[in-house]
Amino acid sequence: MSPLVSAVLSFVFVIGLLLATLWFVRSRGIGLGPMNGQGLRVVNSLRLGGKHRLDVVEYGGRRLLIGVAPNQITLLDNQAQDAAATDTGPSEASDTMPTAGEPSSALSFAGQLKQFMQRD
């Protein structure tokens, strides 16, 4: 056998072995940590650019709005899951401006995001 054929066969064998190992690790859940994603769920994700995004995550009965950048994760909002699920989204005007008796933390995710985007 020529050295070129031997090298190509060795390369194909190593790549196949690598793929089999990756499949095995993924199917067994090895290396995912102690939690394995239990109780954690990404509800929605919005890409804001190449490396930035907004994620809505449910964890421990809470709904979290987080901003994700290459070197930072920022908690933008934290609501009880039942309050977030029953929020049907009031009118467009009340989403962006709180009423006299309503604190700004009672706004929906969409309203808070609009306010945040309007600041810049």
In 1-120, alpha helices (H): 3-28, 81-86, 92-96, 109-119
Residue 2 one-letter amino acid: S
The dihedrals phi and psi of 74, each to the nearest 5 degrees, come to -120, 130
Q: What is the pLDDT along the chain (120 residues), one digit of tens a residue?
A: 799 999 999 999 999 999 999 999 888 767 655 555 677 888 898 998 888 999 999 988 889 999 999 999 999 988 887 765 555 444 444 444 444 444 444 456 777 777 777 765
Q: Is the Cα torsion angle 24, 28, 32, 36 positive or negative in sign?
A: positive
Residue 103 within a domain: yes
Residue 30 within a domain: no
Rounded distance between C-alpha atoms, residue 38 and residue 31, angstroms:
15
Q: Considering the entire predicted model, what is its pTM?
A: 0.44
Residue 108 within a domain: yes
Domain count, the chain: 1
How far CA 93 is from CA of 97, 102, 111, 113, in Å, comes to 6, 14, 9, 14
Range of the domain at 91: 87-120
Residue 80 within a domain: no
